[in-house]
Structure 1
Amino acid sequence: MIKHADLPDTIPIFPLGGALLLPRARLPLHIFEPRYLQMIDDALKTSTRLIGMVQPNVVPGREGHGLHTIGCAGRITQFSETEDGRYMITLAGMSRFRVTREVEGFSPYRKCDVSWEGFDLDLEEEETDAGFKRKPFLDALGRYFEVRGLSADWEALKDADDELLINSLSMMLDFDAEDKQALLEAPSLTTRRETLMTLIEYALRGGSEGEVMQ
């Protein structure tokens, strides 16, 4: 099994607002900007094929986009090129990391030195959530989907493992970048599920402390 010691200290960074990658999850991406096409080319030449997904962090009064401190590295596991030179890739979430500094250089994309310390569980077997009460969670999710006019394969949701269900919803649902960051930084699957439930309930209240939307 891969260990953090096997992972590089410097990785390419893809700052994409609202795009969340979690350990042991998969994220499909459509790559078309020239600098990120170059990033994919370069990553495919490495043994780890890692790319760090990080939420941009807009700081008032500061020019350009900063980066949130914590991101998640994914390994390119699927790759195809379209006739017009775009890439369709799939990242498999490996481990979260902490950005220690941005590396100056001549590449058209950003690179950062990172620390893997504190994220040992990310490389272990999938997590479980012992306190997960699935029925009330799915009831709230059903109301959320109804309000937003969304559909779902409810049988698949009922049968999905805890981690697959919670992480997939965390990645898929339309929360803002700061909420996605909170889901990423959750220290355990239980904490992520609690955060996810809070966000769903907040959305059902219309983003206020008022009555729940019907």
Structure 2
Amino acid sequence: MQVPLFPLNSIVLPRGRIPLQLFEPRYIDMLTRCLKEDSGFVVVLLRDGTETSQFAPFHDVGTYVRIVDFQQLDNGLLGITVEGESKVAIGRCWRAPDGLNFGEVDVLKAEVNPGVPDVLSELPVVLKALLKHPVINDLEMTVDFEDAREVGWRLTELLPLDKQEKQKLVELQDPIERLERLHALLEALE
């Protein structure tokens, strides 16, 4: 599958939502194309650099997303909300003449849902508290707090972690391993 890539200093995972502001012509054209073709694009974390850089390197695992809402913002920019569908591995990449990145992507195997183990039962409690924040609440995400994948995905998105640590969590395919790592990171934050 060949899709546009949207390198960011943020992540989103399956069933998660993230608001984006579009102002660069290359991304407005991408949005138009995605809406017209009912297709999505891949949000991928930058290794370093800024989101407006023409040549910022990015990681090779991201999330295929679809646009679920868009509107003109008070600041005059176009605002969209995207929702993650599946994690993808990015293979060969290239840059179009307008500066938009494209890549060949393979959808990663879906993670299994073993449920949240009792020993990690405090993690859904932490997530429930985070979801009460007004900005997060406005995203209208539904979360199954017994689903180890969803609890780990949302905590990975929402906790104030180093972006390289977030990427390691994104790349994990074992939901329990991700929860254990998050638990250890939360203990270190305390």
Which amino acid is 2:12 matched to? L
CA distance in structure 1 between the partners assigned to 2:17 and 2:74 by the alignment: 24
CA distance in structure 1 between the partners assigned to 2:130 and 2:166 by the alignment: 21
Aligned to 1:161: 146
1:47-196 to 2 correspondence within 5 Å?
A: 47-48=38-39, 50-58=40-48, 64-82=55-73, 85-116=76-107, 119-121=108-110, 127-137=113-123, 141=126, 153=132, 160-162=145-147, 163-196=149-182
Q: How far 1:38 sits from its partner (Å)?
A: 2.4
Of 17, 22, 27, which residue of structure 2 is paired with 1:26?
A: 17
RMSD of the TM alignment (CA)? 3.1
Which amino acid is 1:161 matched to? E
Q: How far 1:13 sits from its partner (Å)?
A: 0.9
2:72 touches 2:79 (CA, 8 Å); kept in 1? yes
CA distance in structure 1 between the partners assigned to 2:6 and 2:123 by the alignment: 32
Which amino acid is 1:24 matched to? R
Cα gap change, 1:137 to 1:66, in 2 (>3 Å): same
Tell which structure's C-alpha radius of gyration is larger: 1
Task: Provide the aligned length of Structure 1 versus Structure 2.
Answer: 175
1:26 touches 1:92 (CA, 8 Å); kept in 2? yes
Cα gap change, 1:132 to 1:111, in 2 (>3 Å): farther
CA distance in structure 1 between the partners assigned to 2:30 and 2:122 by the alignment: 43
Describe the superposition over 1:111-150 as per-residue Cα deviations: whole angstroms up to 9, x where unpaired.
Answer: 111122xx2316xxx83435243444468x59xxxxxxx9
Describe the superposition over 1:2-38 as per-residue Cα deviations: whole angstroms up to 9, x where unpaired.
Answer: xxxxxxx111111111x11111222222323333222
Of 12, 19, 24, which residue of structure 1 is paired with 2:4?
A: 12
1:22 touches 1:184 (CA, 8 Å); kept in 2? yes
Scaled by the length of structure 2, what TM-score is found?
0.76
Which amino acid is 2:8 matched to? L
Cα gap change, 1:132 to 1:71, in 2 (>3 Å): farther
Cα gap change, 1:203 to 1:39, in 2 (>3 Å): same
CA distance in structure 1 between the partners assigned to 2:172 and 2:41 by the alignment: 21
Counterpart of 1:106 in 2: which secondary structure?
A: coil
